[in-house]
Amino acid sequence: MAVVAGFRRQTLNTDYERHLVASALQKGYSQVLCQTLSGRNSEITSLKNEGENLKRDNAIASGMVSSLQKDMLAKDEQVQQLKEEVSQLRSQNKEKDHQLEALGSRVSKDGCVTFL
């Protein structure tokens, strides 16, 4: 019976040790899961912040593009206005050329210049 009691005590110790090992493993696994979860939460927070920053940057860039488009439209209108002005000046210049030609032909016919 002493052998049986010793065997039984050894089995109890082994069961208790198994329980301790299992408990320690479970605690360690829980800690790993908690650390992993904490890391993921930090990563999610970081990604949310990055997303917000990108949204803000996009809004700023869109505003700048809109402003530049308005500036380009104004410049295009100014260029068109200047082209029309140059065209008018060319027409006036041609008209002056014709007046000079007429004046030149009068001088060559009469030999003197007459101003009206």
Query: Is residue 33 a part of any domain in this protein?
Result: yes
Query: Is residue 103 a part of any domain in this protein?
Result: no
Could you give the C-alpha distances from 99 to 85, 91, 108, in angstroms and in order? Answer: 21, 12, 14
Query: Is residue 91 a part of any domain in this protein?
Result: no
Range with lowest mean pLDDT among 29-33, 57-61, 76-80: 29-33
Query: Is residue 78 a part of any domain in this protein?
Result: no
Query: Is residue 20 a part of any domain in this protein?
Result: yes
Residue-wise pLDDT for 4-40, tens only, equals 444 455 555 687 788 777 787 788 778 888 899 999 9
Asked if 113 and 107 count as a contact pair (C-beta separation under 8 A), the reply is yes
**What is the token pair recorded at 53?**
């920053």
| Full domain range(s) for residue 48 | 1-71
Query: Is residue 44 a part of any domain in this protein?
Result: yes
Query: Is residue 81 a part of any domain in this protein?
Result: no
d(CA 70, CA 91): 32
d(CA 79, CA 85): 10
Number of domains the chain is built from? 1
